[in-house]
């Protein structure tokens, strides 16, 4: 197989993607061409906010073709179209045939949260000493426990929940992704638990993962969250977290806790300022340049 990669401005992404479908591409993916740079952008949408953008200002589009000739023909045909203005061909590369399922499985080992708490994929046995586990496989929604932000949230849940289920109380996981934080809260005694996300695929994944782990929670869209909650969890990104400050703070019950992640160390002060009218945030944990921020009402 061969992949054809293009660089396109935001306004050309839809037209180019549709053209790839017409050219019988096996798959088409769109990524931020500025990923891992200062120009990297986060795309998001929240209730009451403008509709989320569908592409990045500078997007990388990758299409997979069965043969090199098909990839080259697609590149030639696209270059001749008016809508290709502003786009450029970044290259055509050979992609080796692989057992993608086995490759994915080999890259996803059990993830240690604490010595006794682990995230374990379905094809692995729990490590020795694992008292509490979450069974979770890679899927369509973010959150497999491999990212520092997820691990820090789960550590906080484990530490808080170690003193008993009442410590977590009623829980809201806002932007639940795979549901991993909500499931972790359930494992450590939190109840009842609401897990919400703007992405229907995430809502579906959360429900499926909860059933696979034998825990009870309610998964739905953000407007279904009805506070107050003793514990409010949000592992998203700094920019949407700032926008969501009044909403998230309003969900925290008296005596409750707000737990935020997806924040870089250099973003701590701007988050504190954004939440200052409602709650006082402080840094509770850090790992690999990321921080966990919490507040107590």
Residue 261 tokens, joined: 């992640």
Residue 150 labeled ligand binder: yes
E strands, the chain, are: 2-9, 27-32, 58-65, 88-94, 111-114, 117-120, 132-135, 171-174, 193-196, 218-220, 229-235, 252-264, 282-287, 290-296
Can you tell me the distance from the alpha carbon of 59 to that of 43, in angstroms, rounded to the nearest whole number? Answer: 12
Residue 213 labeled ligand binder: no
Residue 10 tokens, joined: 């935001």
Q: Which domains does the chain show, CATH number per domain?
A: 2-38+48-94 (3.30.70), 139-296 (3.40.50.150)
What pLDDT was estimated at residue 217? 97
What is the block-wise mean pLDDT of the chain (297 residues), using blocks of 10 residues? 92 90 88 70 48 67 92 93 92 79 65 90 86 76 74 94 78 94 95 94 91 95 93 94 96 97 94 97 94 97
3-state secondary structure of 150: helix
Residue 99 labeled ligand binder: no
3-state secondary structure of 263: strand
Percent of the chain as helix, strand, coil, to the nearest 5:
35, 30, 40
Global pTM exceeds 0.85: no
What pLDDT was estimated at residue 96? 76
Q: What is the dihedral of CA 206, 207, 211, 214, to 10 degrees?
A: 60
**Contacts of residue 129, Cβ cutoff 8 Å, sequence gap at least 6:** 115, 116
Helices within 23-173 (DSSP H only): 68-79, 100-106, 148-161
What pLDDT was estimated at residue 103? 58
Rg of the chain, C-alpha, whole Å: 21
Angstrom CA distances, 297 to 85, 103, 257, stand at 53, 45, 6
Residue 206 labeled ligand binder: no
**What separation, in Å, do the N-terminal and C-terminal C-alpha atoms of the chain show?**
56
């Amino acid at each position: 197989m061969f992949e054809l990669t293009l660089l396109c401005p935001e306004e050309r992404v839809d037209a180019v993607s549709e053209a790839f479908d017409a050219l019988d591409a096996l798959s088409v993916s769109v990524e931020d061409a500025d990923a891992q740079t200062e120009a990297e952008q986060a795309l998001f949408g929240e209730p009451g906010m403008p509709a989320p953008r569908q592409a990045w200002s500078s997007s990388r589009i990758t299409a997979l073709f069965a043969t090199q000739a098909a990839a080259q023909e697609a590149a030639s045909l696209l270059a001749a179209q008016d809508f290709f203005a502003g786009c450029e061909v970044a290259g055509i590369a050979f992609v080796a045939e692989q057992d993608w399922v086995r490759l994915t499985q080999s890259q996803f080992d059990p993830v240690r949260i604490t010595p006794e708490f682990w995230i374990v994929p379905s094809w692995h046995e729990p490590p020795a000493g694992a008292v509490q586990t979450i069974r979770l496989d890679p899927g369509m929604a973010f959150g497999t426990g491999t990212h520092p932000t997820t691990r820090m949230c789960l550590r906080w849940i484990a530490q808080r929940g170690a003193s008993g289920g009442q410590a977590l109380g009623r829980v809201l996981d806002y932007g639940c992704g795979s549901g991993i934080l909500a499931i972790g809260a359930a494992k450590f005694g939190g109840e009842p638990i609401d897990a919400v996300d703007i992405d229907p695929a995430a809502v579906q994944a959360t429900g499926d993962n909860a059933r696979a782990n034998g825990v009870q929670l309610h998964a739905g869209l953000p407007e279904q969250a009805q506070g107050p909650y003793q514990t409010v969890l949000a592992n998203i990104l700094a920019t949407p977290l700032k926008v969501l400050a009044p909403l998230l703070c309003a969900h925290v019950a008296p005596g409750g806790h707000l737990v935020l992640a997806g924040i870089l160390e250099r973003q701590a002060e701007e988050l504190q300022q954004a939440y200052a009218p409602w709650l006082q945030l402080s840094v509770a944990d850090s790992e690999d340049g990321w921080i966990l921020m919490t507040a107590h009402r």
